Structure 1
Amino acid sequence: MEDDLKLYEQRLDKLYKEIKPIKSTGERFEIPKCEGHLEGNKTIISNFGQLVSALRRNQEHFAKFLMRELAAPGQIEGDRLILNRKLNSQRINDKIEEYAKEFVICPQCKKPDTELIKDKDFLFIHCLACGAKHSVRAKLV
């Protein structure tokens, strides 16, 4: 019995040494990073569809936010966003994080379980976890 336990622990230690460490912060929701490339004077965000899915928001709303904040006209083509300007990925990732903080993460409980609700002329972020309702800037809608 002791030999089996010792063998088990040795194998377990060996496996722990072989696996790659998880680069997760432990949070349930992590703000995704953009992946893309430059083509001439255009920036192409190739994982735009994945970003929209992870943030659980309307792709037009998210694209409009990025285009306005980055001062870059653009268009959605399939799962890609094409911005008509050269931009570095750090600047785009900063804007994605800003979008998540303003339109996705609940300011009350800090959970991402939210939805955007338009009520008359106002846009609200409604938290499905704690029930809080906060207004957000509605210029983008």
Structure 2
Amino acid sequence: MGEDYDELLDHALDQVPEFTAEKERFETPEVDIDVSGNQTALQNLKSIADELNRNPDHLMKYLLGELGTAGNREGARGVFQGRFGKESVQDRINRYVEEFVLCPECKKPDTKLVKEGRITLLKCEACGARSSVRKV
């Protein structure tokens, strides 16, 4: 019986795919900025929010607070009062990803924002970790 077990084990090991180091699959989306007059438009706000699996209103509210300005959503884009460079807005998006998208435990983007009572939690679908996040 020992020989059958060894054969089965060898066969099973042959079926397991080899581990290959995979390039990080998640990249922060790049912003598309249009500055005209004293307004800055984030043309791809909705597509960024969709890629991050977040509500565009939540992302817009965060950006308004971080940029310290007024603004509003106009369809798929966000409009901010004031002139902001691409690097400035991209930096805020990167910070948003760190705080509200990536799991603090496993660093994967497979997370959801869930509200439990008055507390908002970042729940990781990959590792199951849960951590509280600040209110926007």
TM-score, normalization by structure 1: 0.79
Following the alignment from structure 1 to structure 2, what is the Cα–Cα distance between the partners of residues 46 and 80? 5
Offset, 1:64: 0.2
Runs of 5+ in structure 2 lacking a partner? 1-21
Superposition map of 1:1-141 within 5 A: 26-138=23-135, 140=136
Deviation at 1:39, TM superposition (A): 1.2
Greater than 4 Å deviation, 4+ residue runs: none
C-alpha displacement of 1:36 = 1.5
Give the residue type in structure 2 aligned to 1:90: E
RMSD: 1.1
Quick one: distance in 2 between partners of 1:63 and 1:28? 25
Q: Secondary structure at the match of 1:134?
A: strand
CA distance in 1, matches of 2:33, 2:88: 13
Unpaired segments ≥5 residues, structure 1: 1-24
Count of residues in Structure 1 that have an aligned counterpart in Structure 2: 115
Contact 2:33-2:85 at 8 Å conserved across structures: no
